[in-house]
Amino acid sequence: QVQLGESGGGLVQPGGSLRLSCAASGIAFSIYSMDWYRQAPGNQREWVATITGSGRTNFANSVKGRFTISRDNAKNMVYLQMNSLKPEDTAVYYCKTTVGRNTYWGQGTQVTVSS
């Protein structure tokens, strides 16, 4: 049973930073790409960043240069470091992975950027 669980969300002022974590279980973690998505109220869920099993990364243009993604394969963890946060980054953030034909999502963690 593949399970993903996010943590680290919260309320932060514009310009601040947060680090989100996602714990994975039930998969051979090191070989799978991991993604972060987000969904703001009234909006569709959108892709934020990806890290492959080998550590290659890719980012949405809206977060490039502000967010970094990393993983610790020994701990089955993936992280999203978010810097220079803006109010428009407010959303529920989800981690996701795809194993074969199955896609797995975590429950999400709320990030609110507000003064």
pLDDT tens-place string over residues 36-47: 999 999 999 999
- Residue ranges of alpha helices (H) inside the chain are none
Give every residue of the chain whose pLDDT is below 70, as ranges: none
> b/e string for 37-49 if b means 16 or more Cβ within 10 A?
bbeeeeeeeeebb
**DSSP label at residue 42:** T
Residue 86 phi/psi, 5° resolution? -120, 160
Handedness of CA 10, 112, 92, 27 (dihedral sign): negative
- pLDDT, position 17: 98
- pLDDT, position 59: 98
- pLDDT, position 30: 86
- pLDDT, position 27: 87
